[in-house]
């Protein structure tokens, strides 16, 4: 292929490489201005790596890298808590439950050690645990028998399993058909808590570093415990929770927890009636203890590995994903690991900010999509350029607000080389990325003079991570809420994530201008039972009435009590119908024109809406659909509130959220300070260098005016284009 010309500047770019195509890789490095190269899961570094670039990354798998060791020490397999299928006792006959029914036997096998302590049979109809003397276990068949069940009650068995196959390697193996490749094995994970894993892990890293002097950066992929990823009996995904701790458990860990915390965790604390403590569940105190316990362990052990890398003169980088459980980057132990860098995958503006905002590391890096895999890089409908554009366009909003230090791509570079127009496009993207660093002078753009607080059960721990199930995948039930953080990730506000507990303990922090509570009723994001505590309503009402701003999305503060469903219905001026107040007549009046709705069409896209009809009690309705409030504003004491029934991301909705934030904070003037006329465009102002960047977030060419500093500019922007302007 003919390569595009060399770029104006170089650096900040990591390129995946592989063996056997040295000259093409050399040319590609030049075109992209790459200063680092990396291998992937399934590729190896060629010998020329070190001479091409400043830094060579290599993946390192502390939890599955040595399969000889794994096979020689089968007692060290990682464990995982699983819940059997639900079975109803159809009468008085003994009830048999095959615990592995529905699970992938290549991935899991029951772990029988001290099963009386670690397994739990539960009558789900009453919620009561069945005493161990009232059930039997057949280890040959993996079957639990309840000889005398209560007729017509549903039962489950929560059990510990051995993980026979590392989850990510299983996923890659199945996705890439590695069963046809005799060099591939099904990699078994081993648990750092189990003897003699830890001694081996330290020594193996030391040996590996000695054997690989060409590696400058150890790209830990990752540390010890994989997020929850469970396959079904057909070898297809059955359960995925990018935040899941189900595979961080073991008899050793449970014993250590009990010794330290003075109480024993039960199987139910992990299987959680089948919800497995997913982030949508309001976390139990036990689960929060477990996160803390696991995070401390992982941080301490990870630090030892980082220290070994440092002692050998290498940098330590963590991949944010795969075996990342226990390293939540906004958790209190994360900085103590001492990592030099974090690299993660960009799936949205929110996930990009999730990475670029991580505290306690020297630099951050993001891997853009598409991953160079045959599912996209094929000539039968694959669209690598389109995916590269999507990835850049969504992430750029976040990068403008808080730049990552580095960017890169991953996968099989040989596949990408077959698509010259793709190479040309990512070369442009690499240059635009470097330009942001250069032209901003290393400064962040100006933000609004108040902070935005996102209020949910997780708070700071899961900054930018609300409503995620499997990283940045689209979920029908989530996209109407994800839009809130997706918009904020590219808007000119400093965002702070606050937990209910934090607000209950310390009140609303002084620098917060507007609080947002967004989520479906009964979830950790809306709050569920936490709203039964009058103190929470008291604190927020007092704060809003004193001049604060409150934005509710969907079913904020939802907890049916005292004649209201939204406990802050007085603040919001709206409530959600529960089919209990249908006898009350409503006379909704719509005010279409308002500061908040100025960029909206008459039809407002609220996605899935609020899960039921919403009516105004005192709010002014700005958008109404089939009698249900979609957007409303309310005054409360000296403060203000805005209600959205849903807010899927779009540039119009993002702009509307920006307006809502200014209005709620009683700072309508702000939108006139820096403002673009076309809602598909955004402007970032860098006061230190007196320069602004205007970006076109759409795939169409647009013409927009930009107002700021008392001046006005008119700009024509290409599709996805951007433009830097100096201000005199």
Angle at 71 between CA 66 and CA 76, to 5 degrees: 85
For residues 9 and 494, what is the distance between their CA atoms, to the nearest angstrom?
A: 30
For residues 269 and 264, what is the distance between their CA atoms, to the nearest angstrom?
A: 10
Q: Provide, rounded to whole angstroms, the least separation between the CB of residue 229 and a copy of itself.
A: 10
Q: Provide, rounded to whole angstroms, the least separation between the CB of residue 155 and a copy of itself.
A: 10
Nearer to a copy of itself, 146 or 316 (CB): 146
Q: Provide, rounded to whole angstroms, the least separation between the CB of residue 507 and a copy of itself.
A: 12
Active-site residue, selected from the candidate residues 216, 322, 606, 613: 322
For residues 242 and 472, what is the distance between their CA atoms, to the nearest angstrom?
A: 10
Q: Provide, rounded to whole angstroms, the least separation between the CB of residue 9 and a copy of itself.
A: 43
- 24, 394 contact by CB (below 8 A): no
- Count of beta carbons in the 10 Å neighbourhood of residue 605: 18
Helix (H, G, I), strand (E, B) or coil at 169: helix
For residues 118 and 110, what is the distance between their CA atoms, to the nearest angstrom?
A: 11
Q: At what angle do helices 285-311 and 251-261 cross, to 10 degrees?
A: 110
- Cα→Cα distances 328→172, 266, 353, 354, 453, Å: 24, 23, 14, 11, 20
Q: What is the DSSP letter of 602?
A: S
- 121, 135 contact by CB (below 8 A): yes
Q: Which two tokens stand for residue 272?
A: 């959680």
Q: Provide, rounded to whole angstroms, the least separation between the CB of residue 5 and a copy of itself.
A: 46
For residues 392 and 379, what is the distance between their CA atoms, to the nearest angstrom?
A: 22
- 267, 81 contact by CB (below 8 A): yes
For residues 195 and 73, what is the distance between their CA atoms, to the nearest angstrom?
A: 9
- 429, 388 contact by CB (below 8 A): yes
What stretch of H or E contains 703? strand 702-708
For residues 728 and 721, what is the distance between their CA atoms, to the nearest angstrom?
A: 23
- 339, 317 contact by CB (below 8 A): yes
Q: Which two tokens stand for residue 159?
A: 């059990």
The residues, ordered by sequence, that sit 6+ positions from 684 with a Cβ below 8 Å of its Cβ are 400, 401, 445, 446, 492, 692, 693, 694, 695
- Cα→Cα distances 532→282, 287, 535, 577, Å: 13, 21, 9, 18
For residues 521 and 578, what is the distance between their CA atoms, to the nearest angstrom?
A: 12
The residues, ordered by sequence, that sit 6+ positions from 425 with a Cβ below 8 Å of its Cβ are 385, 388, 389
Give the residues lining the site for a copy of itself (CB under 8 A).
Answer: 86, 88, 90-91, 122, 124-127, 150-154, 156, 228, 232, 236-241, 244, 273-276, 278, 280-281, 469-470, 475-478, 520, 522-523, 534, 537-539, 541-542, 545, 560-564, 570, 577-585, 587, 611-613, 617, 626-627, 637
Q: Which two tokens stand for residue 264?
A: 């024993």
Nearer to a copy of itself, 21 or 542 (CB): 542
For residues 282 and 459, what is the distance between their CA atoms, to the nearest angstrom?
A: 12
Active site (annotated) includes residue 322: yes
Q: Provide, rounded to whole angstroms, the least separation between the CB of residue 475 and a copy of itself.
A: 6
- Cα→Cα distances 14→48, 58, 352, Å: 15, 12, 16
Q: Provide, rounded to whole angstroms, the least separation between the CB of residue 367 and a copy of itself.
A: 24
**Look-up of token digits 């890439």:** 176
Nearer to a copy of itself, 611 or 721 (CB): 611
Q: Provide, rounded to whole angstroms, the least separation between the CB of residue 482 and a copy of itself.
A: 12
Nearer to a copy of itself, 208 or 239 (CB): 239
Angle at 621 between CA 615 and CA 623, to 5 degrees: 100
Kind of pairing between the strands at 722-726 and 315-319: unpaired
Residues in a beta bridge with 674: 708
- DSSP annotation string for 607-641: TTTTSS-EEESSPEEEEEETTEEEEEEEEETTEEE
Nearer to a copy of itself, 68 or 626 (CB): 626
Q: Provide, rounded to whole angstroms, the least separation between the CB of residue 665 and a copy of itself.
A: 20
Asked if the bond preceding 222 is cis, omega within 30° of 0, the reply is yes
Can you give 266-325 as a three-state secondary structure string? Answer: CCHHHHHHHCCCCCCCCCCHHHHHHHHHHHHHHHHHHHHHHHHHHHCCCEEEEECCCCEE
Q: Which two tokens stand for residue 95?
A: 């009830």
CA atoms within 13 A on the CB side of 118: 21
Q: Which two tokens stand for residue 726?
A: 């100096």
Nearer to a copy of itself, 193 or 467 (CB): 467
Which residues form the catalytic set?
322
């Amino acid at each position: 292929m003919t390569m595009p010309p060399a770029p104006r500047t170089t650096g900040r770019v990591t390129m995946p490489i592989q063996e056997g195509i040295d000259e093409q890789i050399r040319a590609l490095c030049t075109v992209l201005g790459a200063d680092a190269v990396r291998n992937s899961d399934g590729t190896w570094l060629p010998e020329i790596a070190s001479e091409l670039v400043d830094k060579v990354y290599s993946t390192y798998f502390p939890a599955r890298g040595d399969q000889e060791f794994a096979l020689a020490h089968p007692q060290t397999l990682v464990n995982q808590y699983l819940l059997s299928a639900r079975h109803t006792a159809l009468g008085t006959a003994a009830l048999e439950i095959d615990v592995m029914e529905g699970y992938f036997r290549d991935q899991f096998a029951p772990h029988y050690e001290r099963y009386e302590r670690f397994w739990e049979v539960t009558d789900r109809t009453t919620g009561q645990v069945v005493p161990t003397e009232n059930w039997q276990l057949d280890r040959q068949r993996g079957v639990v028998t309840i000889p005398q069940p209560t007729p017509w009650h549903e039962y489950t068995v929560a059990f510990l399993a051995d993980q026979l196959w590392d989850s990510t390697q299983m996923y890659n193996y199945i996705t890439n058909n590695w069963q046809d490749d005799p060099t591939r094995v099904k990699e078994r994970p081993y648990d750092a808590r189990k003897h003699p894993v830890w001694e081996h892990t330290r020594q193996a890293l030391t040996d590996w570093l000695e054997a690989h002097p060409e590696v400058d950066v150890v790209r830990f992929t990752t540390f010890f415990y994989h997020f929850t990823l469970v396959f079904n009996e057909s070898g297809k995904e059955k359960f995925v929770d990018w935040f899941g701790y189900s595979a961080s458990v073991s008899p050793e860990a449970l014993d250590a927890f009990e010794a330290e915390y003075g109480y024993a965790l039960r199987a139910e604390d992990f299987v959680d009636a089948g919800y497995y403590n997913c982030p949508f569940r309001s976390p139990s105190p036990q689960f929060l203890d477990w996160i803390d316990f696991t995070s401390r362990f992982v941080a301490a052990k990870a630090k030892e590995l980082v220290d070994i890398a440092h002692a050998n003169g290498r940098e330590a980088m963590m991949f944010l994903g795969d075996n990342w459980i226990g390293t939540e980057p906004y958790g209190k132990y994360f900085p103590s690991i001492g990592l030099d860098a974090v690299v993660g995958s960009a799936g949205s503006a929110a996930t990009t900010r999730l990475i670029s905002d991580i505290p306690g590391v020297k630099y951050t890096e993001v891997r853009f999509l598409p991953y160079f895999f045959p599912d996209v890089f094929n000539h039968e409908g694959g669209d690598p350029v389109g995916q590269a554009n999507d990835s850049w366009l969504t992430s750029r909003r976040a990068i403008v607000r808080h730049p990552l230090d580095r960017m890169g791509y991953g996968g099989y570079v040989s596949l990408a080389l077959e698509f010259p127009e793709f190479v040309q496009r990512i070369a442009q993207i690499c240059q635009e990325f470097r330009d942001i660093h250069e032209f901003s002078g290393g400064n962040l753009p100006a933000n609004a003079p108040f902070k935005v607080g996102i209020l949910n059960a997780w708070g700071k721990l899961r900054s930018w991570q609300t409503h995620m199930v499997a990283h940045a995948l689209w979920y029908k039930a989530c996209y109407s809420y994800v839009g809130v953080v997706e918009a904020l990730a590219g808007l000119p506000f400093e965002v702070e994530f606050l937990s209910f507990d934090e607000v209950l303990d310390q009140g609303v922090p002084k620098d917060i201008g507007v609080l947002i509570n967004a989520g479906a009723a009964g979830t950790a994001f809306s709050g569920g039972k936490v709203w039964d505590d009058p103190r929470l309503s008291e604190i927020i009402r007092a704060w809003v009435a004193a001049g604060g701003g409150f934005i509710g999305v969907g079913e904020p503060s939802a907890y049916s009590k005292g004649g209201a469903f939204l406990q802050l219905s007085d603040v919001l001026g709206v409530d959600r119908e529960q089919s209990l107040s249908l006898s009350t007549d409503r006379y909704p009046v719509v005010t279409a024109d308002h500061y908040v709705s100025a960029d909206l069409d008459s039809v407002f896209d609220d996605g899935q809406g609020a899960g039921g009809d919403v009516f105004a009690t005192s709010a002014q309705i700005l958008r109404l659909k089939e009698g249900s409030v979609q957007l409303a504003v309310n005054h409360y004491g000296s403060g203000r509130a805005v209600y959205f029934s849903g807010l899927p991301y779009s540039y119009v909705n993002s702009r509307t959220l920006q307006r809502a934030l200014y209005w709620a904070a009683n700072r309508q003037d702000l939108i006139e300070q820096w403002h673009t006329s076309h809602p598909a465009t955004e402007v970032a102002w860098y006061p230190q260098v007196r320069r602004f960047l205007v970006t076109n977030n759409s795939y169409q060419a647009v013409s927009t005016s930009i107002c700021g500093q008392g001046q006005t500019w008119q700009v024509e922007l290409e599709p996805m284009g951007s433009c830097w302007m100096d201000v005199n």
